């Protein structure tokens, strides 16, 4: 077949030494991980694992203990990824301490969930829809695999295998919860990782079983609710059974996953489900799951994706609205959903060898994901709106703290996303300076990248081999390039084929070659499909993968009063580590004489200045917009 299944490189094989990414990753190490560790220690999760925590019914912030294992897990996972790239004995000891707490909380039969052990033991596995038990288990399994791969220690892996074995028994054929699955997908993709780490195929089969059970009739969540006879964890006064379309779509249990055609419901749940489906399609060669993934992908990318790579426009469900419903100010675009899209897109690239998935991954990564944290890494957005009326700012933390540790684990595992390797050679997916070691045709091959990406599209790639070796070096040609891409090898223009979105240099590499690549990167004005109401008559400015926004602090009027002059030449200045685009524009002027008038709208010329979207909201509150009116 013409396509190729690929693998990512293990973290130790990749060195990231990049002016853009390295400082951000260093912030995660130096600030985010210690900050999160402190929160786990002080905020309840560690106490809960010691069975010392009791809920305070008067404290609304204590509604979230059911997520605490996932907080611990994502922190362990992020720390493990960090340990995989650079040793840190203090961090490793802290991880071991957390793992000891988890091991201590594990029950005789393998069960591991503090809330449903110490607080509500009678509730164990009775509320799959709402209670996030398997979701937490999934994150712990991901943490166990990352910890094992980083340190070689099986302390957490052993714990989680025992728990996974229990889940396999209870949710497997003849088990007391046969046919069940979690209301928040996560364990499905985690079990694929556990299979890969252990070679135990029954974890893969359990993942497939959980995936394929979803949305079949009779509906599992109805049955468990009727059996339980009480509302779920969030129940409130609603009906015990949520059989309405919106209720079922919320957790993507409205139809068997293979039959799903539209991205609906809670967007993080959706991303984790689709990621697991892509994993299973790859591991099993399952064409039905692959076809479903491709359908869902098209629906998302063609109708429900923000230009920032954010997704999930409807705050009321933290999820998808209808097609083309992408409001800016009142949208949602949860950081975790953009991170989930990175996970899914990455797997789709591995499955298909298509660069188009990396285009979307890159769009999300550099925009809707990065915007989730402040420049200093200490404040966070849960939702990432594309416009602000001046009231939006990042928060220190969240009671439901899913996003900050998710961002941490993505940044500390960035190594996974830069390259891929397979029968079709080496794919350079992201332009991130540093180096990588591959095993190819029995040889060690290394590739070193250098660029000022994402600010400059000139990239140098040096290839080293032990001996001459023929392979294809695939350099991704981003969809945002604004002109012909030029490639040189050792200073001479190189011919190349374009295949599945990559420039393919298929040749015998002798070692020491220097490939020069120039990706023209704008700036350009981007327009949205006419069905996107929030972007009507508006443009967004973009340079390379970086989507810009206009912030009030840089401009002479509140952003809604600004109009970009059509055809005006944008200029770029790089200052304080960021590109800024300047374009000629107009300002609406407040009129004398009342709110409404029949004369021409008074305007005056101005310069409109941007910053990268990910960097907004670092200089106080003010109006902001990605989509800015354009004169017509």
Provide the Cα torsion 64, 24, 147, 415; round to 10°: 130
Residue indicated by tokens 């694929």:
192
Of 588, 607, 618, 621, the one binding its own copies by CB under 8 A: 588
Nearest-CA neighbor of 541 among 566, 517, 518, 558? 566
For residue 334, the 8-state DSSP code is B
Stretch in the footprint of its own copies (CB under 8 A) among 241-249, 267-275, 558-566, 576-584: 558-566
Q: Is 466 in the site for its own copies (CB under 8 A)?
A: no
Q: Going by C-beta distance under 8 Å and a sequence separation of 6 or more, which residues neighbour residue 310?
A: 331, 332, 333, 334, 337, 338, 364, 367, 368, 384, 386
3-state class (DSSP) for residue 249 = helix
Q: Is 556 in the site for its own copies (CB under 8 A)?
A: no
Q: Is 531 in the site for its own copies (CB under 8 A)?
A: yes
318 is catalytic: yes
> Nearest approach, Cβ of 34 to its own copies (angstroms)?
37
Calpha distance 587→601 (Å, rounded): 10
Of 295, 437, 527, 621, the one binding its own copies by CB under 8 A: 527
Stretch in the footprint of its own copies (CB under 8 A) among 288-296, 421-429, 503-511, 592-600: 592-600
Nearer to its own copies, 10 or 533 (CB): 533
Which is catalytic among the residues 262, 318, 362, 630? 318
> Nearest approach, Cβ of 267 to its own copies (angstroms)?
16
Q: Within 319-378, which residues bind its own copies (CB under 8 A)?
A: 330
Q: Within 217-276, which residues bind its own copies (CB under 8 A)?
A: none
Return the CA Rg of the chain. Answer: 25
Which is catalytic among the residues 136, 336, 402, 549? 402
Instruction: Kindly tell me the sign of the dihedral angle through the C-alpha atoms of 432, 434, 439, 443.
Output: positive
Binding residue count for its own copies, defined by CB under 8 A? 45
- Give buried/exposed letters for 197-214 (b at 16+ CB in 10 A, else e): bbebebbbbbbbbbbbbb
**Structure token pair of residue 77:** 């996972």
Which residues are registered as beta bridge partners of 586?
563, 605
3-state class (DSSP) for residue 99 = helix
> Nearest approach, Cβ of 602 to its own copies (angstroms)?
8
293 is catalytic: no
Nearest-CA neighbor of 260 among 247, 244, 277? 277
Q: Is 154 in the site for its own copies (CB under 8 A)?
A: no
Q: Is 561 in the site for its own copies (CB under 8 A)?
A: yes
170: enclosing H helix or E strand: helix 155-171
Calpha distance 59→383 (Å, rounded): 24
> Nearest approach, Cβ of 529 to its own copies (angstroms)?
5
Q: Write the binding mask 426 to 465 for its own copies: x where contact by CB under 8 A, - elsewhere.
A: ----------------------------------------
Q: Is 595 in the site for its own copies (CB under 8 A)?
A: yes
Calpha distance 204→313 (Å, rounded): 32
Which residues carry out catalysis? 318, 402
- The residue ranges that bind its own copies (CB under 8 A) are 301-303, 305, 307, 330, 389, 482, 524-533, 536-537, 540, 542, 557-558, 560-561, 563, 586-591, 594-602, 629, 631-632
């Amino acid at each position: 077949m013409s396509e190729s299944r690929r693998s990512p490189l293990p973290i130790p094989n990749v060195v990231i030494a990049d002016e853009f990414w390295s400082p951000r990753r260093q912030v995660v190490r130096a600030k985010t991980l210690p900050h999160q560790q402190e929160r786990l220690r002080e905020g309840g999760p560690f106490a809960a694992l010691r069975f010392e925590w009791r809920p305070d019914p008067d404290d609304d912030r204590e509604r979230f203990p059911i997520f605490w294992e996932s907080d611990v897990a994502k922190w362990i996972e992020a720390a493990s990824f960090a340990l995989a790239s650079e040793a840190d004995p203090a961090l490793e000891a802290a991880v071991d301490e957390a793992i000891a707490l988890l091991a201590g909380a594990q029950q005789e039969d393998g069960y591991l969930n503090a809330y449903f052990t110490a607080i509500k033991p009678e509730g164990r596995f009775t509320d799959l829809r709402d209670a996030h038990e398997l979701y937490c288990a999934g994150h712990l399994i991901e943490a166990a695999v990352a910890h094992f791969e980083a340190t070689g220690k099986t302390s957490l892996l052993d714990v989680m295998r025992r728990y996974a074995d229990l889940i396999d028994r209870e949710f497997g054929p003849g088990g007391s919860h046969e046919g069940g699955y979690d209301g928040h997908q996560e364990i499905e993709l985690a079990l694929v990782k556990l299979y890969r780490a252990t070679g135990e195929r029954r974890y893969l089969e359990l993942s497939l079983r959980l995936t394929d059970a979803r949305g079949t009739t009779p509906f599992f969540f109805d049955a468990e609710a009727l059996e339980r006879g009480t509302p779920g964890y969030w129940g409130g006064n609603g009906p015990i059974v949520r059989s309405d379309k919106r209720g079922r779509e919320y957790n993507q249990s409205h139809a068997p996953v293979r039959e799903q055609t539209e991205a609906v419901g809670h967007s993080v749940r959706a991303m984790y489900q689709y990621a697991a489906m892509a994993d299973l399609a790859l591991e099993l060669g399952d064409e039905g799951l692959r076809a479903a993934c491709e359908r869902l992908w098209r629906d998302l990318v063609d109708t429900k994706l923000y230009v920032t790579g954010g997704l999930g426009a409807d705050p009321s469900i933290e999820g998808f609205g209808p097609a083309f419903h992408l409001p800016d100010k009142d949208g949602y675009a949860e950081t975790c959903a953009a991170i989930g899209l990175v996970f899914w897109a990455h797997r789709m690239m591995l499955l298909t060898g298509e660069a188009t998935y990396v285009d979307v991954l890159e769009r999300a990564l550099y925009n809707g994901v990065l915007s989730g944290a402040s420049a200093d890494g200490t404040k966070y957005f849960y939702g990432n709106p594309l416009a602000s009326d001046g009231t939006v700012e990042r928060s220190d933390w969240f009671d439901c703290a899913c996003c900050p540790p998710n961002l941490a684990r993505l940044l500390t595992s960035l190594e996974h996303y830069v390259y891929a390797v397979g029968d079709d050679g080496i794919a350079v997916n992201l332009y991130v300076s540093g180096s990588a070691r591959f095993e190819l045709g029995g040889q060690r091959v290394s590739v070193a990248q250098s660029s000022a990406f994402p600010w400059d599209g000139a990239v140098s790639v040096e290839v080293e081999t032990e001996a001459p070796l023929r392979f294809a070096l695939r350099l991704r040609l981003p969809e945002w390039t604004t002109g012909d891409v030029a490639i040189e090898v050792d200073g001479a223009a190189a011919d190349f084929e374009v295949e599945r979105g990559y420039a393919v240099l298929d040749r015998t590499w002798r070692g020491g070659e220097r490939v020069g690549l120039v990706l023209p990167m704008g700036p350009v004005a981007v327009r949205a499909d006419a069905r996107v109401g929030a972007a009507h008559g508006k443009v967004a400015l973009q340079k390379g993968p970086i989507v810009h926004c206009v912030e009030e602090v840089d401009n002479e009027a509140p952003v809604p009063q600004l109009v970009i002059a059509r055809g005006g030449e944008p200029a770029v200045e790089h200052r304080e580590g960021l590109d800024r685009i300047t374009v000629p524009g107009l300002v609406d002027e407040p009129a004398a004489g009342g709110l409404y008038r029949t004369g021409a709208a008074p305007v005056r010329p101005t310069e409109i200045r941007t910053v990268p979207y990910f960097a907004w909201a670092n200089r106080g509150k003010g109006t902001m917009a990605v989509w800015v009116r354009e004169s017509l």
